[in-house]
Structure 1
Amino acid sequence: MADLDVQPKSGRPWWLWLLLALIGLALLFFLLRGCDREEEVDTTTTTTETTTQTSTAAEVDDDDDWNSLDLNAPVAAYDEITDKDIEVRGNENYAVYTMDETILFGSDKAAIQPAAADKLKQVAASINKRFAGGQVRVYGYTDAQGSASYNKELAEERTRAVQTWLVDNGDVNKDNVTLHPVGESNPVASNATAEGRQQNRRVQIVVRKS
């Protein structure tokens, strides 16, 4: 009988097992790292959404406070306001200084006229006397002549001009002054008559205690 030469099967090299183990560890590492990144993104998104909601709520609350002011409150008599072209309404907590647009600006212009300086000086002095450090809003209104977009743009330019004057010449803190160009959307009289359109063209400087 012939002898059978039977050789045992050789096992896989040890380094191959080591290589497979390293590959497995690398895959596990990257999987865990991906999960951590997803958690970070979720946390960041949640924080951002919370911050946005908080800011929006604060703005809404602030607008509610301003909207509660009666811009047609009874006329107030301030001894520092002697110019009859300046109408003042309000109480000890806020004031509304109203001037006809033609007093401050030329027709379809946004540059403050030199003759308006003395009137704005009285308004600024009154603000600093009674509402020092208070929040100021400058509202600009127009009539309905021309397009709504043009009137809104004109109102914005005029409110900015008033803000700049108050800051540069009236010692009012710029951070306390915000612009609210309304345009033609809030008339107080009919735009069908020249008299009504003149009443609608106005600037209101509203200030309240801080």
Structure 2
Amino acid sequence: MAELDVQPKRSSPWWLWLLIAIIAVVILIFLFRGCNSKTTTVSTAYSTSTTKAVAVTKPDWDAVDFNGARTKDEDVTDTSIAVSGNDRYTIYTLGENILFATDQNTLNSDAGDKLKQIVSSLNKRFKGANIGVYGSTDSTGTAGHNKALGAERAAAVKNWLVTTGGLDSTLVSIHSLGENKPVASNATAAGRQENRNVSIVAFPNK
């Protein structure tokens, strides 16, 4: 009988299998990244959104000019409320004597009637806008005391705007100017009285 020359089957080199495994892993990684990129949430300094970042303009609270020209507001008929501003913001200003007793931070009993008119205007013209409440004093007393008093008065007005006026507390911020940025001269009694006030500034959303 003829003898059959049977050779053992050669196995593939080990490094070939390793190479195939590495290539497979790389392909899977690229596929996984490709799927994720379609639904990636983009987070920026401005806002967070899916596939698109939307910039949100924040008010420049330090750039408000309290000596701006007076304007008219049909919803504010009380002459003790001064309305001013420009195309970027509107300011509603009430004197200390309207809202508070001298050197006090508790609202007068009739302050609510004035604030209701301002809230009515805010709800009509600036729904959802950022609102800044600024407390100002004259230069009598120490700068520290004036800064604290301005903050306390601004806080009292904010509390009323939120609890009674129904404004969103997350949109209302407190700012104390103290004796800084006076609207009149502190050299006269009339000027000092004018400088003691609270201003409500509305920044419409852009």
Match of 1:141 in 2: 136
Match of 1:87 in 2: 82
Could you tell me how far apart the structure 1 residues matched to 2:92 and 2:101 are? 19
Alignment CA distance shift 1:92-1:130 (3 Å): farther
Q: Percent identity?
A: 45
Asked if 1 retains the 8 angstrom alpha-carbon contact of 2:130 and 2:172, the reply is yes
Per the normalisation by structure 1, the TM-score is 0.67
Could you tell me how far apart the structure 2 residues matched to 1:88 and 1:145 are? 26
Shift of 1:69: 4.5
**Structure 1 residue 115 and structure 2 residue 110: aligned?**
yes
Shift of 1:185: 1.8
Match of 2:52 in 1: none
| Matched AA of 1:175 | T
Could you tell me how far apart the structure 2 residues matched to 1:71 and 1:104 are? 18
Give the counterpart of 2:188 among 162, 186, 193.
193
Structure in which a larger fraction of residues adopt helix = 1
**Structure 1 residue 102 and structure 2 residue 126: aligned?**
no
Asked if 1 retains the 8 angstrom alpha-carbon contact of 2:138 and 2:193, the reply is yes
Shift of 1:106: 0.4
| Matched AA of 2:169 | K
Structure with max Cα Rg = 1
Could you tell me how far apart the structure 2 residues matched to 1:127 and 1:187 are? 25
Could you tell me how far apart the structure 2 residues matched to 1:107 and 1:124 are? 25
Unaligned runs of 5+ in 2: 1-42, 47-56
| Matched AA of 2:177 | V
Match of 2:166 in 1: 171
1:1-210 superposed matches below 5 A:
62=58, 65-91=60-86, 93-210=88-205
Could you tell me how far apart the structure 2 residues matched to 1:202 and 1:146 are? 16
90-99 vs 78-87, which moves further? 90-99
Per the normalisation by structure 2, the TM-score is 0.68
Shift of 1:68: 4.6
Shift of 1:73: 3.1
Q: Report the count of equivalent residues.
A: 152
Could you tell me how far apart the structure 2 residues matched to 1:89 and 1:190 are? 19
Could you tell me how far apart the structure 2 residues matched to 1:66 and 1:152 are? 16
Shift of 1:126: 0.6
| Matched AA of 2:151 | E
Could you tell me how far apart the structure 2 residues matched to 1:76 and 1:152 are? 28
Could you tell me how far apart the structure 1 residues matched to 2:139 and 2:65 are? 24
Could you tell me how far apart the structure 2 residues matched to 1:105 and 1:182 are? 17
SS in 2 for 1:114: coil
Could you tell me how far apart the structure 1 residues matched to 2:153 and 2:175 are? 10
